[in-house]
Amino acid sequence: MTDLSLHHGISLHRIGAMILRYWYLLMSSWPRLLELLYWPALQVITWGFIQSYVAQNANFFARAGGTLIGAVILWDILFRGQLGFSISFLEEMWARNLGNLMMSPLKPIEFLLSLTVMSLIRLAIGVIPMTLLALFLFHFNFYGLGLPLIAFFCNLIFTSWSVGIFVSGLVLRNGLGAESIVWTLMFAIMPLACIYYPVSVLPGWLQYVAWSLPPTYVFEGMRALLIENTFRTDLMLEALAINAGLLVASFWAFLALLRSAKMHGSLLSGGE
Amino acid sequence: MHSTAQWRKNASSMTENAKASSRPTVADSTLSAAIEVDRLVKVYKQTRAVDGISFSLPRGSITGLLGGNGAGKTTTIAMIMGLVLPTSGRVRVLGHRMPEESAEVLGRMNFESPYVDMPMRLTVRQNLTIFGKLYAVKHLPDRIAKLAAELDLNDFIDRANGKLSAGQKTRVALAKALINEPELLLLDEPTASLDPDTADWVRAHLERYRKDNNATILLASHNMLEVERLCDRVIIMKRGRVEDDDTPDAIMARYNRTTLEEVFLDVARGRVNDAKEGQDEQLSS
């Protein structure tokens, strides 16, 4: 009955099964769906009004319309992308279902790929209405960024997956006691990624740290596009290169943490 | 709760299923053992949870793993499943090294344990669908329908798992464990927290499944009656070591006891030597 040939290599069938599992879960709970919409909407409305107020009173922001609200939306792609990934993972911990999955033919890479797809689905549910709100309330057309938006999006989502993979490994190894890292780690990146201000604002030594983070390149790129009407391909390529390294490193870390969890018996306890 | 007629109908359905399959038989000497454990050790910091145990389980057997809390049963089963890595020693499952070759065998085995749950918000049917897909079960709707009939799930198959009684959840967990018709079934306390009727029903189903599918079952249990009824071999563990390993009858005879529960208490309370000496005296007289 079991098709063993599928156990070699990556199985789209098993990835599809996991996506179906998270889809059922999402659709079974309206508060979960509402939460996906609620926070992004709150963010864009708050920052949109701040931007409107500042634009009326500051010459720079009057010229650079959309930098604040654009940054808010891009930040949400980064943050919600990681949360979308990590929350799907945490659902397995909360449900005490991880043992069932680990004992099934599902491979770690298939599990992670299904989480990346769920991250995209959850992101779409939250961010698309957010961009529509920005358009109708503040006349900021996020999609007006054009093709560069694809480069921004890809770089941000890759970073969010790297962080998501790494923190999932930490939770796997340390149990739900490490859950708070899922919610807070991205905020440690926030001041260094220079979301609302240019990198030049930071002290010299901190600028080196900032430039090691791919989101910094995206936010600098966004400001260059909105203020100078220039698309900085160089920034996007550098960010892509760092992201490639981060993805490989986070996957390696996940496997190492999984192995450590098996060594320490953490998969049996899984709790705090 | 479960009528005799329903049970007979289910048992008949399972037998037909077994006939249709091309399972190997126990008598086939070309097959490796279902489980081979060789000098297995697991050390957690200062604690030796499993201390150099070895055993081999032939295909088609039901073996009970007995021992008090902390004896090392769960750790042993977890190492067989690949959820815990041994400190030293070797595990082979269905002829493959674990965990190195786990991809070769995970689709042919399954398990049920009180340490894991089925997702609570999903319905029974959704859960079985997902696990069926993970195990690449062919004709999945038919398989789910058959399991639902055999395990009497139809009354609540579209209800969320979290809204089921303990007995219903156990039957669903058993359905998940059988979804891929495993050659090897690992069970950790399969009837814990069940009422006697449901527990008896689960045991009957396991017996029938083993017989019809020539499956190998390893079960850890604190229920001695369950072990006496189901198992053709018993491995008693204490402080991470194998204290005894034989058929239930042989073990009871060796300890001069009439039930496994009495043997268990002898082992747990360190009365092993007294009991064995008593038996030796009887033999000499």
Answer whether residue B173 shows pLDDT above 60. yes
Q: Which is more confident, A112 or A25? A: A112
Rounded to an integer, the average pLDDT of B29-51 is 87
Q: By percentage, how much of chain B surpasses pLDDT 70?
A: 84
Strand order in the sheet with B233-238: B109-112, B184-188, B216-220, B62-66, B233-238, B241-246
- The rounded distance, in Å, linking the Cα atoms of A270 and B115 is 9
User: Dihedral of CA A11/A15/A18/A24: which sign?
Assistant: negative
| pLDDT band at B94; cut points 50, 70, 90 | very high
Lowest mean pLDDT among A71-85, B26-40, B119-133, B202-216: B26-40
Residue of B nearest to A9 (CA): B103
CA distance A247 to chain B (A): 24
Rounded to an integer, the average pLDDT of A249-271 is 87
Who's near A40: CB < 8 A, 6+ residues apart?
A: A76, A80, A126, A127, A129, A130
- How high is the pLDDT of residue A46? 75
Contact A14 B103 (CB under 8 A): no
Answer whether residue B34 shows pLDDT above 90. yes
Rounded to an integer, the average pLDDT of A259-272 is 78
Query: In whole angstroms, how far apart are CA B99 and each of A14, A223, B81, B89, B105?
Result: 20, 51, 8, 12, 10
Answer whether residue A161 shows pLDDT above 70. yes
- How high is the pLDDT of residue A47? 75
Give residue-wise pLDDT tens across range A82-94. 999 999 999 999 9
Q: Which is more confident, B198 or B277? A: B198
Q: Does B180 touch chain A (CB under 8 A)?
A: yes
Rounded to an integer, the average pLDDT of A34-58 is 75
- How high is the pLDDT of residue B15? 37
**Which residue type, as a one-letter code, is found at position B260?**
L
Answer whether residue B279 shows pLDDT above 60. no
Answer whether residue B38 shows pLDDT above 70. yes
Answer whether residue A57 shows pLDDT above 50. yes
Answer whether residue B19 shows pLDDT above 60. no
Rounded to an integer, the average pLDDT of A162-189 is 90
User: Dihedral of CA B194/B195/B200/B201: which sign?
Assistant: negative
| pLDDT band at A61; cut points 50, 70, 90 | low
- How high is the pLDDT of residue B284? 54
- Cβ contact B93:B34 at 8 Å: yes
Rounded to an integer, the average pLDDT of A104-133 is 93
Lowest mean pLDDT among A256-260, B6-10, B90-94, B161-165: B6-10
Answer whether residue B4 shows pLDDT above 90. no
- How high is the pLDDT of residue A272? 44
Rounded to an integer, the average pLDDT of B209-214 is 91
Q: Does B220 touch chain A (CB under 8 A)?
A: no
Cβ-Cβ contacts under 8 Å, A96 against chain B? 115-117
Answer whether residue B102 shows pLDDT above 80. yes
Answer whether residue B187 shows pLDDT above 80. yes
Answer whether residue B27 shows pLDDT above 80. no
Q: Does B181 touch chain A (CB under 8 A)?
A: yes
Cβ-Cβ contacts under 8 Å, B113 against chain A? 99
- How high is the pLDDT of residue A226? 86
Rounded to an integer, the average pLDDT of A72-81 is 92
Rounded to an integer, the average pLDDT of A215-231 is 91
Lowest mean pLDDT among A102-116, A168-182, A203-217, A235-249: A168-182
Give residue-wise pLDDT tens across range B219-237. 998 888 888 888 999 999 9
Tell me the β-bridge partners of B238. B241
**Which residue type, as a one-letter code, is found at position A45?**
I
Q: Which is more confident, B282 or B112? A: B112
Q: By percentage, how much of chain A surpasses pLDDT 90?
A: 47
- How high is the pLDDT of residue A42? 78
The H or E element containing residue B39 is: strand B35-44
Residue A97 in tokens: 């279902």
- How high is the pLDDT of residue B280? 53
- How high is the pLDDT of residue B198? 82
Cβ-Cβ contacts under 8 Å, B176 against chain A? 100
- How high is the pLDDT of residue A2? 40
Residue B261 in tokens: 């529960």
Rounded to an integer, the average pLDDT of B90-106 is 92
Q: Could you tell me which of A210, A268, A127, A239 has the C-alpha nearest to residue B188?
A: A268
Q: Which is more confident, A232 or A144? A: A232
Residue of A nearest to B87 (CA): A263
Contact B119 A95 (CB under 8 A): yes
CA angle A37, A42, A45 (to 5 degrees): 120
Residue A244 in tokens: 């490639």
Contact B135 A105 (CB under 8 A): yes
Answer whether residue B6 shows pLDDT above 80. no
- How high is the pLDDT of residue A3? 41
Residue of B nearest to A98 (CA): B116
- The rounded distance, in Å, linking the Cα atoms of B137 and A132 is 43
User: Dihedral of CA B124/B126/B131/B135: which sign?
Assistant: positive
Answer whether residue B26 shows pLDDT above 50. no
